[in-house]
Amino acid sequence: MIDLQKAVPLVIYDNKCYLCTKFAKIVDFLAGGRLSLVGHYTDLGEKLRSQILDSSALEMFWFVDGKTAFGGRAALIPLILVIIRHNGKEVRHTVDKEQCDTECKTVKAVFLRSASLFSHSKKIRIN
């Protein structure tokens, strides 16, 4: 079992997607390195998905604050608030280089990923 309290606040993103990795880098920059960033397809990401997320986990990015996992559209406001308010220590991590094996850099992919961000939304309470 992962001790979430040591890892939060954290963002879980698709580290195999060029656009998602760019999004994670922007979030990291805006947060000043104070958020933990975890790729869906990393060992830690897979553990987090199995412990706190559900079958829709890979459809969107997630923001986890320790009490709730916010996915997609539902994650935007809590993420922005934490970026603005959070004044904790810098977290040592790196944003993985994207491992895109599909056409992630096309205009169509940008449109579909952007539309996906606004069409998917979910909240999961963490016990």
In whole angstroms, give the CA distance from residue 89 to residue 6. 12
pLDDT at 80: 93
Classify residue 2: in a domain, yes or no: no
pLDDT at 16: 86
Number of domains forming the structure of the chain: 1
pLDDT at 89: 58
pLDDT at 33: 85
Classify residue 1: in a domain, yes or no: no
In whole angstroms, give the CA distance from residue 66 to residue 70. 10
Classify residue 33: in a domain, yes or no: yes
DSSP 3-49: -HHHH-SEEEE-TT-HHHHHHHHHHHHHTTT-SEEEETTSHHHHHHH
- Token duo for residue 125: 């309470």
pLDDT at 102: 55
In whole angstroms, give the CA distance from residue 97 to residue 82. 24
Domain that holds residue 14: 8-90+99-125
Classify residue 3: in a domain, yes or no: no
Question: What is the pLDDT tens value at each position of the chain, 127 positions in all?
Answer: 567 767 778 999 989 888 888 889 999 999 988 888 999 999 999 999 998 998 888 889 999 998 999 999 999 999 999 998 866 555 555 555 555 555 666 667 666 666 676 778 899 998 7
- Token duo for residue 6: 């040591």
Q: pTM of the full predicted structure?
A: 0.80
